[in-house]
Structure formats: structure tokens, C-alpha cells
């Protein structure tokens, strides 16, 4: 008999923000501040959102001498990763579990599951940042993990054969696709994934210049993992390996 399950929301369905907040011991006060800050730049209303957060670390400023005196230190800050999804997204996952005949005991963020997976597999070297590329037929998730925590996450839709010229922007139907044979489809898929990975690594390095990605891992069951691994090995200039 099926029991309870935990499911993970992919980053393409969530809004992720990193906030720097004052150090607050009371988690309820911290939650109120998180809601206040994140409500300012959500693409949807707060009454339509489900918001959760995780404290990544406390940042303590280091004294830097200025001439003959040491400037007063600013107050320590908490670095907080915030995830927000629409209420309808949560409800869709709840209905999915119900239709499958299982009890949804928790709904988490899929990149955090990936961070735990990397930790359990011992594939990262110490505190060095590790990028995990998770491939799916229609999307790629790129998670940067370091110090046993999620540092950065981005999801990208991968649609070989997308015909932008003939797509109807007002239609909810998928855009028309140019006919392709299997080899062309695979080559375009790998090319699109490689572009998105390079973009993500550039974006991450701009935010975290002191924690560069040392290794890249590829996981998935699309059949394109080995080809993606070879393409990334030529482009990213870092050791790449298949994560089983």
C-alpha cells in the first residue's frame, strides 16, 4: 500500500530570491520580514502566493583598516534564500498526489533535494561549489551547491524545433515545431542545454565571485546525458562527470 510521499517543485515553477536581512532570532519576526521584502518584486500578488525560506548563513563583516583607524563595522546580516510559488501550483501537486493514490506529506523545492543528493553521493570536494545539471525531456535544471547548501538555482525550458516565427503569443497551445529527425533533435537539445549552462555559470560567478564552481555533474534519463557531458567538457573548462 502506498504511503506518504515528498514531492519537489522544479525551479521553473518557483520564484527564487536571495535576501540580506538583519539578524533576528525570532523565526516569526524573520518570516514577517521575508514576506514584506519578497512581496515587492513577486510577479503575482502575495495573496496568491505560498512563501517559504531557509537561512543559508550569517555574514559577519571583517574589519578593514582605513588609514590609521579601523572603520566601525556594519551589523551582521542573514543570507536567506526565499522560494515563492502560486497557490494554484501547490494545489496542482496536491491533486497529482491524490490521483496517484499517495499522501502528500510535504512539498519542497527540487533544487534542495538535488543539494541533499550531491551531499549523500560525496561528489563535491570539501566546500568547493559543484554544479548539478538535471536533464528532463523539456527542461534543464542547473543547481550550484556548496558547503552542503543550495547557492544558486535556475531552470530553463529546452524545446528543440521551437518555431518562434510561427508561434502565436496569445495561444496557450505549444508552438509549431519544424520536423526534425532524431539526430537533429538530439544535437539541438544538447546545444540548447550547453548554452543555458554557460549562461547560468556566468550569472552565478557574477553573484558569487569568491566561490567559483569547481566541478560539473550531469544527471537524468533522457538519453542525451553523455552527449551533453562531452559538449560541456569542451565549453565550461571544468571537470565534468556523469552523476549516477
- The answer on pLDDT for 119 being more than 90 is no
What average pLDDT does the chain have? 85
pLDDT band at 162 (very low <50, low <70, confident <90, very high): low
Q: How would residue 160 be classed by pLDDT, with cut points 50, 70 and 90?
A: confident
Identify the DSSP state of 10.
-
Cα first-last separation, the chain: 28
**For residues 186 and 184, what is the distance between their CA atoms, to the nearest angstrom?**
5
pLDDT of 136 above 70: yes
Instruction: Determine the pLDDT at residue 176.
Output: 56
To the nearest 10°, the Cα dihedral for 217, 113, 201, 11?
A: 130
Residue 159 has pLDDT above 90, yes or no: no
The pLDDT, as a whole number, for residue 10 is 87
Mean pLDDT of 198-223: 89
Tell me the average pLDDT across 83-90: 94
Q: Quote the cell numbers at residue 152.
A: 544558486
Q: What pLDDT sits at residue 209?
A: 77
Residue 128 CA to residue 174 CA, distance in Å, equals 40
CA dihedral (34, 139, 133, 190) in degrees, to 10, reads -150
In the structure grid, which three cell numbers stand for residue 136, read together? 528532463
Q: 145 near 134, Cβ under 8 Å?
A: no
Amino acid at each position: 500500500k502506498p504511503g506518504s510521499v515528498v514531492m519537489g517543485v522544479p525551479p521553473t515553477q518557483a520564484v527564487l530570491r536571495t535576501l540580506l536581512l538583519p539578524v533576528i532570532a525570532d523565526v516569526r519576526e524573520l518570516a514577517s520580514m521575508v514576506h514584506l521584502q519578497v512581496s515587492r518584486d513577486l510577479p503575482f500578488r502575495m495573496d496568491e502566493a505560498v512563501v517559504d525560506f531557509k537561512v543559508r548563513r550569517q555574514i559577519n563583516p571583517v574589519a578593514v583598516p582605513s588609514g590609521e583607524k579601523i572603520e566601525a563595522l556594519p551589523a551582521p546580516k542573514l543570507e536567506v534564500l526565499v522560494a515563492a510559488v502560486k497557490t494554484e501550483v501547490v494545489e496542482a501537486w496536491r491533486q497529482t498526489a491524490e490521483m496517484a493514490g499517495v499522501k502528500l506529506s510535504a512539498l519542497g523545492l527540487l533544487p534542495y533535494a538535488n543539494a541533499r543528493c550531491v551531499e549523500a553521493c560525496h561528489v563535491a570536494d570539501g566546500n568547493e561549489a559543484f554544479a548539478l545539471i538535471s536533464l528532463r525531456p523539456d527542461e534543464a535544471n542547473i543547481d550550484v551547491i556548496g558547503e552542503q547548501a543550495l547557492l544558486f538555482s535556475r531552470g530553463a525550458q529546452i524545446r528543440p524545433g521551437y518555431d518562434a516565427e510561427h508561434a502565436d503569443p496569445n495561444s496557450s497551445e505549444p508552438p509549431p515545431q519544424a520536423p526534425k529527425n532524431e539526430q537533429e533533435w538530439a544535437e539541438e537539445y544538447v546545444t540548447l542545454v550547453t548554452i543555458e549552462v554557460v549562461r547560468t555559470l556566468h550569472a552565478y560567478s557574477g553573484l558569487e565571485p569568491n566561490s567559483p564552481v569547481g566541478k560539473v555533474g550531469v544527471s537524468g534519463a533522457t538519453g542525451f546525458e553523455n552527449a551533453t557531458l562531452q559538449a560541456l567538457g569542451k565549453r565550461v573548462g571544468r571537470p565534468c562527470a556523469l552523476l549516477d
